[in-house]
């Protein structure tokens, strides 16, 4: 049974590494995903205090020998793109089966994420104090989730006629997955991101799904019971379980790409249209091949008669 992710424990001796150790502030997930003025101010002060704590003349021990102290400064961040990131319960498949509501999977805790080009700065809130937690840097620009929430809110409203009651950025530690959540009066919607870690061709990054469709694909593919058993054994032996990852079902991925349509009353979905295009192309190709074959046979037949 394949593993979604391996459990890794990395110890770096004498090396500098900046990793967000996230401690979330408690708040109702029904509150706006947008940051209040006080939250924006607190996050900015945390970043400024972090920069002030760095000694520009300090010696830096890093895997990258070219890193100097000034490289560790938080810079280029855009507070207009900052957002709350809520945690979800570990076993979302099992929890969703029990409750039937994706909203019930959202924890009451959150931290603040501040994009800066290819970097992302994390801010914890502990007892009302905003503290810099760490950073992560990739090869591509980080996703502007503020813009994504606004974009998909409009798409949902246009296709359903319903107002967005709640929207949030969520993260699953078990699946290493970022996704957006939207709630209307009649339904819940999910937009997953960076889904390559899922190794599931039917869950596409930046694609909108109803929560029920999304969880159907997840349930068909992944077996959380294996990880729950591992966690149970770890607790019995007083061991600390330090990573994520979940088993993939042996009979996985039974879903078809065109089975799920977030707006069934609005005509053909993007997935259905894609399948129609592919099938039409195959039919056209077969027709061309057949015509070429018939022409070849006729030509050969004429030569034989002569």
Residue 20 lies in a domain: no
User: What pLDDT score does 130 carry?
Assistant: 95
Q: 137 lies in which domain range?
A: 25-209
Last-in-domain residue among 191, 209, 227: 209
Residue 149 lies in a domain: yes
Residue 239 lies in a domain: no
Residue 283 lies in a domain: yes
Residues 85 and 201 in one domain: yes
Residue 183 lies in a domain: yes
What are the phi and psi torsion angles at 107 (to 5°)?
Answer: -70, 160
User: What pLDDT score does 272 carry?
Assistant: 45
What does the alpha-carbon distance between residue 107 and residue 173 come to, in Å, rounded to a whole number? 12
- For the chain, 306 residues long, the average pLDDT of each consecutive 10-residue run is 29 29 44 82 92 73 59 82 94 94 92 93 92 90 94 95 94 92 96 84 90 93 78 59 51 45 60 46 60 61 53
User: What pLDDT score does 299 carry?
Assistant: 62
User: What pLDDT score does 179 carry?
Assistant: 94
Please give the sequence-ordered ranges of beta strands (E in DSSP) within the chain, or none if there are none.
25-26, 83-88, 106-116, 119-126, 129-137, 166-172, 177-183, 188-193, 209-210, 222-223, 247-248
Minimal CA–CA distance to 212: which of 192, 193, 187, 194?
187
Q: The tokens of 234 are what?
A: 């770890």
Residues 178 and 56 in one domain: yes
Residues 176 and 297 in one domain: no
Q: How many domains does the chain have?
A: 2
């Amino acid at each position: 049974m394949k593993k979604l992710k391996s459990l890794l424990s990395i110890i770096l001796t004498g090396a500098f590494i900046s990793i967000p150790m996230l401690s979330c502030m408690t708040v109702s997930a029904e509150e706006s995903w947008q940051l209040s003025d006080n939250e924006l101010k607190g996050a900015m002060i945390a970043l400024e205090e972090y920069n002030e704590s760095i000694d520009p003349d300090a010696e830096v021990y890093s895997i990258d020998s070219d890193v100097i102290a000034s490289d560790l400064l938080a810079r280029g961040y855009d507070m207009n793109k900052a957002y709350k990131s809520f945690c979800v319960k570990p076993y979302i498949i099992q929890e969703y089966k029990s409750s039937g509501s994706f909203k019930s999977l959202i924890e009451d805790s959150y931290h603040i994420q501040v994009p800066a080009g290819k970097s992302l700065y994390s801010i914890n809130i502990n007892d009302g104090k905003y503290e810099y937690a760490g950073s992560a840097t990739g090869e591509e620009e980080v996703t502007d989730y503020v813009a994504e929430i606004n974009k998909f809110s409009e798409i949902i409203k246009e296709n359903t006629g319903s107002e967005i009651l709640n929207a949030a950025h969520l993260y699953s530690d078990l699946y290493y997955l970022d996704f957006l959540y939207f709630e209307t009066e009649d339904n819940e919607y999910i937009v997953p991101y960076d889904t390559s870690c899922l190794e599931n061709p039917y869950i596409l990054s930046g694609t909108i799904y109803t929560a029920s469709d999304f969880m159907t694909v997840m349930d068909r593919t992944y077996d959380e019971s294996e990880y729950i058993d591992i966690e149970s054994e770890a607790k019995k032996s007083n061991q600390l379980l330090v990573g994520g990852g979940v088993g993939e079902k042996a009979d996985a991925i039974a879903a078809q790409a065109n089975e799920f349509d977030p707006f069934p009353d609005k005509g053909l979905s993007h997935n259905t249209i894609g399948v129609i295009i592919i099938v039409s192309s195959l039919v056209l190709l077969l027709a061309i091949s057949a015509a070429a074959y018939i022409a070849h046979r006729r030509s050969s037949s004429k030569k034989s008669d002569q």
